[in-house]
Amino acid sequence: MNIKKIDDYIYEIEKEGQMLVPGRIYSSKKLLEKVKEDNSLKQVKNVATLPGIQKYSIAMPDIHEGYGFPIGGVAAVDTKEGYISPGGVGYDINCGVRLLKTNLLYEDISDKIRELLAYLYSNIPTGVGSKNAIEKLSEKEFRNVLKKGAKWAIEKGYGDEEDLYFTENNGCIKINDFKGISSRAIERGKIQLGTLGSGNHFLEIDYIDEIYSYEFAEIIGLEKGQIVILFHTGSRGFGHQVCDDALILMRHAKNKFSYIPPDNQLISAPFYSDEGQKYFNAMNAAANFAWANRQIIKGIIEYCFIKFLKISKKSLGLQQIYDVCHNIAKLEYYNEKELLVHRKGATRAFGPGNYEVPEKFREIGQPVIIPGDMGTNSYLLVGTKKTEKETFGSTCHGAGRILSRKKASKMYKKENIFEKMSKHGIFLMAKDKRTVAEEVPEAYKNIDEVIKVVVEVGIAKKVARFKPIAVMKG
């Protein structure tokens, strides 16, 4: 494949064959060499064949091989002639991160971190197949969760009304019907609300160790040494089933459509087809589930901190900075044109002045939360106007894997990772040692290098860096 260097951090796969647009890769030379070791660049080419695709098939610096789309892939399609692809969203619909700030400083809890982590671990269900943090829901009540999203959880006492203003889409996307949602998806979802899950899902207690923009940090309300909580989870078994059901539906209907994808994993349907709309509504329902899920976990975190530390809610001062989703297809307007923007392992990053950015942040841009891998730094950035012009308001979502879970597990299964992290001042709790081996820092790209790329090309600006002191895994 012919890859042309545009500048130090932008590369292009020239249009050829079925491709309707070029592939654009945001990467350093060093990161690109790793990308070439899997099939993600081939997937960038495949995505460029999607009917209705605009400008480029885009890859962020955390790109790695995924299902159909590369993880770290972005594709915007014209809704009139474009196709929607479940592979362009992924199995964990609205897998996303939420960042919370507190009034606490590192020295306030430095001698209590291990016990505080254990208390959180005992109250937030983690791991594969983990069950509800709340009582089992009836199907009728579960449908209310899917309709209301984060608001449902707030009505049940988890968090505060203002959390909605600091959540992408205010924590809910309207769904028109439940036709694309199977009884199997409902059964899986009913028992998993308020759970962290496994794999790359996590909860961290961090402190701010570096501030890059004191002006922006002041607007957001951050200072050096401040304790923040960062957690990452999504729509759990419900979203997985929605994706599975949509793939089956579209494969059965593929003879109705003119587009034959170069890879069966890229199976898609016209956005306004019956199949496309069934998936779109079900996907939005899964996104709402994920927001409700994270809202419940936020409420549990607040309860745990207050009870364990024996302080008041006011003294804790837990406030949500922002909640962003990574895996979703959103209706957005660019140059007065309605587009469906697939973000697969990519973060929305709207710039200053955008009406969808909360008023508190509108002069600086949308907060963008980029977690590192287990045990490494995480970052808070903000979006830029350039992001909206060049990448359909999108940037990276994390470090990005360089080792598959299977390979990482095989290479590091004999290491005492708990002890290794402890030596670096990080307490780790996890249900499954195999999951920990799969998520070692060595399995991921260097987060600092990934952040450098998006900052150098101007599709995000750095605000602050977080250092983990406690990590909870499934």
Domains in the chain (CATH in brackets) are 3-473 (3.90.1860.10)
Distance CA 278, CA 121 (A): 37
**CA–CA distance from 321 to each of 75, 170, 181, 222, 353 (Å)?**
27, 13, 32, 10, 18
Phi-psi region of 380 (alpha: psi -120 to 50; beta: other; left: phi over 0): beta
Helices 183-190 and 139-148 cross at an angle (nearest 10°) of 90
User: How far, rounded to the nearest angstrom, does the alpha carbon of residue 41 sit from its chain's CA centroid?
Assistant: 21
pLDDT by residue, tens only, the chain of 474 residues:
889 999 999 999 999 999 999 999 999 999 999 899 999 999 999 999 999 999 999 999 999 999 999 999 999 999 999 999 999 999 999 999 999 999 999 999 999 999 999 999 999 988 766 666 676 789 999 999 999 999 999 999 999 999 999 999 999 999 999 999 999 999 999 999 999 988 889 999 999 999 999 999 999 999 999 999 999 999 999 999 999 999 999 999 999 999 999 999 999 999 999 999 999 999 999 999 999 999 999 999 999 999 999 999 999 999 999 999 999 999 999 999 999 999 999 999 999 999 999 999 999 999 999 999 888 999 999 999 999 999 999 999 999 988 888 888 888 877 888 988 888 899 999 987 888 898 888 889 899 999 999 999 999 999 999 999 999 987
Give the residue carrying structure tokens 């589930």: 289
User: How far, rounded to the nearest angstrom, does the alpha carbon of residue 73 sit from its chain's CA centroid?
Assistant: 12
Angle at CA of residue 303, ends 299 and 307, nearest 5°: 175
Question: Which residues belong to the active site?
Answer: 397
Distance CA 123, CA 120 (A): 5
